[in-house]
Amino acid sequence: MRSLFVMDPLEGLDLSGDSTFALMRASTARDWEVWWCHPGALWAEAGQARARAQRVVTSADGFERHEWAEVALADFQLVWMRKDPPFDMGYIFSTYLLDLVGPKTLVLNAPAGLRSRNEKLFAAAYADLTPPTLISRDIERLRAFVEAQPDRAVLKPWDGNGGRGVLVTRAGDPNLRSMIEVLTDEGRRYILAQRHLPEIADGDKRILLVDGEPAGAVLRVPGRADHRGNLHVGATAHATTLTPREREICARIGPTLRAEGLLFVGIDVIGGWLTEINVTSPTGIHQVNRFDGVQLEERILDAAAARHRRER
């Protein structure tokens, strides 16, 4: 097997916590050849996706860089799209380039799925699994939605990640209209308004799914100083298990994930309500491994290899 990881620059990786590095290391351990490239190093010529890429050999705690080469993506069995957000036009265009890999190469997650599934709207499509949500850029409509909630509400950008821009508000909040103006850039950008779930005090559960099946979870409990359950703003990670309701959520969305080639996905669940389906570059392998005593990267590689055998 030859694998190419399309990703942010290697020098910026936190090797002890990075999920992409865990996949690279497990690939090397299987004697698969591992290469990496930046999405900006992809190009298309004569209908074929190509890249300037570098071969790497990983070890337990690092990697050796080997030769750079101009490669055809068709010469790889697996291409992993692991670029971190922002999900912008550059990101979308790289998924078009990844459509040109040729019939023998499997791209994970599938470029069409990455393009068509927005992380917050994908969740909102399952209205009975998500908290009441409005997606709009109309300042008055957003304000009326918040005013109609029984207690608090959150406002968040459609394309946020890591908790960026997630604000808590409530009916009667004198800052409400101003917050909506700022987040929507005066009605020019879409945002989500959502019923606030008080169960966030008990944590935001990240459940990792491999080929549509739940494979592990970690509970992120907000710290005292910040309402958000994102680890880099002070939330702490805890071991957890899945409730029947969370298994039901996974069972409902799993077949769609599998059908669309979204092999490695992380969903966020607060109090049994689905808030997000992260498809672009989910993380959390290390935490799940630590708490559940598993090797999630092995399960992901097994699933990828099986899918490649089946489909290519």
Ligand X SMILES: Nc1ncnc2c1ncn2[C@@H]1O[C@H](COP(=O)(O)OP(=O)(O)O)[C@@H](O)[C@H]1O
Q: How near is the Cβ of 3 to ligand X at its closest, in Å?
A: 27
DSSP the chain: -EEEEE-S-GGG--TTT-HHHHHHHHHHHTT-EEEEE-GGGEEEETTEEEEEEEEEEE-SS-EEEEEEEEEEGGG-SEEEE-PPSP-SHHHHHHHHHHTTS-TT-EEES-HHHHHH--HHHHHHTSTTTS--EEEE--HHHHHHHHHTSSSEEEEEETT--TTTT-EEEETT-TTHHHHHHHHTTTTTS-EEEEE--GGGGG-EEEEEEETTEEEEEEEEE--SS-S---GGGT-EEE-----HHHHHHHHHHHHHHHHTT--EEEEEEETTEEEEEE-SS---HHHHHHHH---HHHHHHHHHHHHHHHH-
156 is catalytic: yes
97 or 270, CB closer to ligand X?
A: 270
Total residues interacting with ligand X, rule: CB under 6 A: 23
246 or 276, CB closer to Mg ion?
A: 276
Length of the chain: 312
Please state, as a whole number, how many other Cβ atoms lie within 10 Å of the Cβ of residue 201: 12
Q: Catalytic pick from 25, 83, 156, 307?
A: 156
268 makes contact with Mg ion (CB under 5 A): yes
- Binding part of the chain for ligand X, among 3-11, 87-95, 227-235, 297-305 by CB under 6 A, reads 227-235
Q: How near is the Cβ of 229 to ligand X at its closest, in Å?
A: 3
Q: Catalytic pick from 25, 82, 83, 120?
A: 120
104 is catalytic: no
173 is catalytic: no
Q: How near is the Cβ of 227 to ligand X at its closest, in Å?
A: 6
102 or 162, CB closer to Mg ion?
A: 162
154 makes contact with ligand X (CB under 6 A): yes
Among 20, 230, 240, 280, binds ligand X (CB under 6 A): 230
8 is catalytic: no
161 is catalytic: no
Tell me how many degrees the CA angle 53-58-59 measures, rounded to the nearest 5: 170
Q: How near is the Cβ of 129 to ligand X at its closest, in Å?
A: 13
Cross-strand bridge partners of residue 48: 45
Cβ contacts of 280 within 8 Å, gap of 6 or more: 81, 83, 84, 85, 87, 91, 109, 114, 119
Among 211, 246, 260, 276, binds ligand X (CB under 6 A): 276
Q: Is the dihedral of CA 288, 11, 42, 58 positive or negative?
A: negative
Q: Catalytic pick from 25, 220, 299, 307?
A: 220
Cross-strand bridge partners of residue 51: 42, 71
175 is catalytic: no
165 or 214, CB closer to ligand X?
A: 165
260 is catalytic: no
Q: How near is the Cβ of 105 to ligand X at its closest, in Å?
A: 30
Among 160, 216, 254, 284, binds ligand X (CB under 6 A): 160
201 or 259, CB closer to ligand X?
A: 201
Q: How near is the Cβ of 120 to ligand X at its closest, in Å?
A: 6
Q: Catalytic pick from 82, 204, 278, 299?
A: 278
276 is catalytic: yes
What are the catalytic residues?
Answer: 120, 156, 206, 220, 228, 268, 276, 278
Binding stretches for ligand X (CB under 6 A): 131, 154, 156, 160-164, 166, 194, 196-197, 200, 204, 222, 227-230, 268, 270, 275-276
Binding stretches for Mg ion (CB under 5 A): 268, 276
